[in-house]
Structure 1
Amino acid sequence: MGFNLFTWWSGKTFGTWLQTLRTGQEVGRDGDGNIYYEGGGKRWVIYATDNDSSRVPPEWHLWLHKTRAEAPSQVPLPVKAWEKPWRPNPTGSAAAELPPGALSAGKARAASPADYNAWTPGS
């Protein structure tokens, strides 16, 4: 049938499937395969994988929340020279960025003048 009757975390639910069938018009797709719809005064996304809102690129986020009237598939956002390409949030994954000296990176922290020095009698 193309929907999940009892779960919402792994695909579209019955309500989303029905809304898409009745009033949904596909507006566009992003690089991850997520499909964006509009209809009945609402906008929504059907995720290509698990339902994870951090996988929605910024330009589509603006459109979904009606901050922007035109969909990125119709009028792309201008790209600034200093902007990096969008990527999903890697926090909590093996691709997470770790600062130098992070214990989870397996490195030792560099010494600091503010480090504790134990007092010894007679010194």
Structure 2
Amino acid sequence: MSLMSVLTDIFTWWNKATMGTRFALSRGGEFVGEDEFGNRYYRLPNDPKKNAAFGSERRWVVYSGYAEASAIPPGWHGWIHHTVSAPPANENYVPREWEKRHRDNKTGTVEAYRPQGSAFSTRKRPAATGDYKAWSPED
């Protein structure tokens, strides 16, 4: 392991597991499964002493690369948020037709959505139609 790799592990939270997450894994984190993006899911078994601060089973994800919460697939999202009790790896989960595949968050990039009328849009704002009268204190 290179020095740069060690420093990246210590000082970044957005890239894979932090030192705190690794510590939690070493204290009894149980591997539950892996999704199609390579994200790995863990839980702390429901032990009242270990989970007293949480009130329920502690669950977390170690991202395979850049940590982006929207990269969790729908089936795993339900498990990580305690909506369902069984992880998708245990039930041969098949996404429903209305569940969309993950798309990267484009906010802050040139590919970000910029609606018509936005100050950052390349399109021209439509002209006022005359059906609006600005408020003034004299009225």
State TM-score, norm by structure 1.
0.69
Distance 1:102 1:113 in 2: 18
- Paired residue for 1:97? 113
CA 1:83–1:17: 2 relative to 1, 3 Å:
closer
The residue type paired with residue 78 of structure 2 is L
Match status 1:79 vs 2:96: yes
- Paired residue for 2:83? 67
Question: What are the superposed Cα offsets for residues 39-60 of structure 1, whole Å, 9 maximum, x if unpaired?
Answer: 3332111111233323223332
Alpha-carbon RMSD across the aligned residues, in angstroms, is 2.8
Match status 1:8 vs 2:25: no
CA 1:72–1:114: 2 relative to 1, 3 Å:
farther
Aligned residues: 115
Where does the alignment leave 5 or more consecutive residues of structure 1 unmatched?
Answer: 117-123
CA 1:83–1:55: 2 relative to 1, 3 Å:
closer
Distance 2:19 2:99 in 1: 39
- Paired residue for 1:37? 42
Distance 2:43 2:81 in 1: 12
Match status 1:28 vs 2:33: yes
Contact 1:60 1:71 in 2 (8 A): yes
Give the SS at the match of 2:25.
helix
The residue type paired with residue 79 of structure 1 is R
Contact 1:33 1:47 in 2 (8 A): yes
Query: Percent same amino acid among aligned pairs?
Result: 39
After the TM superposition, which segments of 4 or more aligned residues of structure 1 sit over 3 Å from their partners?
Answer: 100-103
